[in-house]
Amino acid sequence: MLIIAVIVIIFALVYLDDKLGRLILRNGRKKVVYPKRRSDMALYVNGRHLFADYFAELRRARDHIHILFYIIKHDETTAPFFQLLKEKAAEGVEVRLLTDWVGSLGLPKTLIRSLKASGVEFAYARPPRFPFFIYRLNRRNHRKITVIDGKVGYMGGFNIGREYSGKDANIGEWRDYHLKISGEGVHDLQEQFLHDWEEATGKTVADKRRYFPPLHAGAIRHQLVATDGAALEEQYIDAIRQAKREIMIGSPYFIPSRLLFDELMRAIRRGVRVTVIVPLRADHLFVREAAYPYFYQMLKAGARIYRFYQGFYHAKTIVVDEEWCDVGTANFDRRSLFLNGEINCYVFDRAFTQVVKRAIQRDLTRAEPLTLDFWRKRSLLDRGKESISQLISAWL
């Protein structure tokens, strides 16, 4: 009885910590809608291709390098990354490296000390603290941003480590979508990075003008939007409402809010063709099972659900009517909607949207359709996991 009482008390304290944290700290949650811009863009869906280009641009840096990743691994693939940052700092390039405290918890202290000793400025984003430790622990900085000399920027779904380059044999190919941006939009990536850096360090960056050189207007019209546990739900609902013919959604996790799911179901019922692609395998407990109840209702209504089997699918994208697309860091789940710091790029360009759509279509050729028959025949264990997943879906 004593053990049961202790467990009940612990769960009650965790629940109160989370609820009170949401209530008291939610005024600090916000969105930043940057101006509509014009930039040139390239889409990367393969880690080897992305990092070949990424490292080449880092080597060309002459003034500053600003990097934010949610996850930075310490393995044989990131050793050259850390060495390159040290070399650039030794050349006099200003290097700032920011990573999420939970996402990169495994980085050795000796590595961090060596980076700092080499002149690289390093900081963790959002280390948890009291009060509301559990709530703060859940609110991660999930953005991935790189800005080089204020002229070239990267953002999207890739983190940096062995698996993201497709070198983890247990995972296979890592499928993700990442943007390289040159043009006006780099200003907004820079602005967001500096905001996150100052939030993490508590220090104001001096002489910010040097980080914002004049930039050309590129060919692709787009808009960057940064969210911090608020407003993303409304943006996705608005996009779904505008759809007339087709919605394509790619996400490693599919755990929408009730309002967002209801809007998606309304789109299906009014004749919009909805296609969702998710990974076959799961990289976290319960996330796959948490999606099944939504998939069941969508399949009955006529949606198409596919599960990518050739590696792991981690892309975060939405395509609407071949006219508009979103590539960013936000998953189609409640954590991205209501907890994480995210940044998305909404692209209002038909030609580039078709590039993204073709990437999704290629991925669909390596995905299996989920059927109602499969759902009905799932095991008792899977049914039990679904029940548990529904209880904890807000934190998955």
Residues 6 or more apart whose CB falls under 8 angstroms from that of 266 comprise none
Active site residue 75: no
Check 316, 326, 349, 385 and give the catalytic one: 316
Active site residue 314: yes
Burial class (CB in 10 A: 0-12, 13-18, 19+), 188: buried
Active site residue 316: yes
Angle at which helices 380-392 and 287-301 cross, to 10°: 100
Check 149, 188, 326, 363 and give the catalytic one: 149
Residue showing tokens 């993490």:
200
Check 66, 73, 88, 144 and give the catalytic one: 144
Active site residue 144: yes
Angle at which helices 258-269 and 232-242 cross, to 10°: 0
Asked whether 134 and 143 are in contact (CB, 8 A), the reply is no
Check 66, 73, 142, 178 and give the catalytic one: 142
Query: Measured on CA atoms in the order 160, 165, 169, 174, is the torsion positive or negative?
Result: positive
Check 88, 151, 314, 385 and give the catalytic one: 314
Q: In terms of Cα–Cα distance, which of 144, 146, 121, 149 is closest to 212?
A: 149
Check 63, 74, 321, 357 and give the catalytic one: 321
Name the residue type at position 328. Answer: G
Q: Which residues are catalytic?
A: 142, 144, 149, 314, 316, 321
